[in-house]
Amino acid sequence: MTNRRKFVQNSLLLGLAAPLLPAAAQAALPAASAPKAGWKHWVWTNPDQKDTEAQLAERYRKYYEAGVRGIFFEADSERHFRAAKAQKLEAHRWIWTMNRGEKTLLAAHPEWYAVSRKGESCATHPPYVDYYRWLCPSREEVKQYLEQDYAAALKKDYIDGIHLDYVRFCDVILPVNLWAKYGIVQTSELPEYDFCYCPVCKAAYTAEYGEDIDKVQYPEASPSWRAFRYQRVNEVVRRLTAVARQYRKPITAAVFPTPDIAHRNVKQDWVNWNVSGVCPMIYHGFYKENVTWIGQAVKEGVQALNGKFPLYAGLFPPDFKNDAELAQGIENALRNGAAGVSLFGEVSEAALAALKTASAKARA
């Protein structure tokens, strides 16, 4: 999260056949359990090993009192997980999915990485920033690698569930607030940011649609090529969902703010997943919108899901001018159908107070 937080703060950017499982594992996924009354709020954070036991107990107690019911931890720290659970909070492991730049993986399997329409691999030519190293979702070896990685987390008794992030393709269109920083205008899909054109993806597309994508004049405008890529990521999610089922634990995901933006910007089709819940990153400042847009974005997502699973609005506190505006943003989300909100990063006592106030107002 250190790199991601630095990127967010500096540039305002956001984020074989399937194994046969025992019959019990084929049952419906557990819901991301909601309290009997009130909203369910979350916090995205990275555990700090300098925290003392007393600090953790006090922090997590205050979280619970404010209405937070779960934490997405980006690193695996048993001490932090158990401290959160001791204060009645769910402790979920937050793991990056398709964006994986581990040096050992890059060195061992550079062929696993996505290739742009320009013909450049993320293994050697990462787009935008150095840590943008996107795996190809069509490769069976990639899906198996991810299954094993998430299973290793799920089998631990102190981990209550898993949380997917970067479960998509690279941003072919960045939020408009970033265009000036990178000196680009993305009113169209530029070749160096359009993925994946590796041999495996091309062959799979030809087998499914009978077309050679290299012979399509404007591949970025092809509905079937677009749908094909949605399905590639959907299959990764399906496989990981099956792993979560096997361990009888919930699986949630950080996703782009609305179904339309997710489709257009990152080829992400989260409405058609079968997860326990989603946290759309409705970071209004990234899109040069005001807090009213938070409610609109939530409404779009809730209507598209039609009750399939809960939506928790992801909010970025630095986007808000003050705590009163944060409270307004939270209230806008809740009044438009969010089952709760998820706050990114450090959460101040003032932010917790805003969360508590907004929740009470929205319930009234």
pLDDT at 363: 86
Is the preceding omega at residue 196 within 30 degrees of 0, hence cis?
yes
Q: Does the pLDDT value for residue 354 go beyond 80?
A: yes
Beta strands 161-165 and 251-255 are parallel
pLDDT in tens, 88-98: 999 999 999 99
Q: What pLDDT does residue 23 have? A: 33
The 10s digit of each residue's pLDDT in 156-215 is 999 999 999 999 999 999 998 889 988 999 999 999 999 999 999 999 999 999 999 999
Q: Pairing state of beta strands 340-344 and 90-96?
A: unpaired
Q: Which two tokens stand for residue 231?
A: 């399905």
- The Cα 267–Cα 190 span in angstroms is 14
162, 153 contact by CB (below 8 A) = yes
Helix/strand/coil for 174: coil
Whole-number Å distance between alpha carbons of 189 and 171: 10
Q: Residue 301 above 90 pLDDT?
A: yes
Q: Give the chain's domains with CATH numbers.
A: 2-15+38-363 (3.20.20.80)
pLDDT tens per residue, range 80-89: 999 999 999 9
How far is it, in rounded angstroms, from Cα 11 to Cα 9? 6
- DSSP secondary structure letter of residue 44: E
Non-local CB neighbours of 52 within 8 Å, separated by 6+ positions: none
pLDDT digits (tens, 9 = 90+) for 245-266: 999 999 999 999 999 999 999 9
Strand partners, 176: none
Collapse the DSSP code of 53 into the 3-class scheme (helix H, G, I; strand E, B; otherwise coil) and give the result.
helix
For residue 31, give both structure tokens.
Answer: 């819901």
Give the pLDDT of residue 13: 46
What is the residue type of 230? Answer: Y
0.85 surpassed by pTM: yes
**Residue 30: band (very low, low, confident or very high) from pLDDT cuts 50, 70, 90:** low
Render 225-254 in DSSP notation, one character per residue: HHHHHHHHHHHHHHHHHHHHHHTT--EEEE
d(CA 134, CA 48): 27
**pLDDT > 80? residue 144:** yes
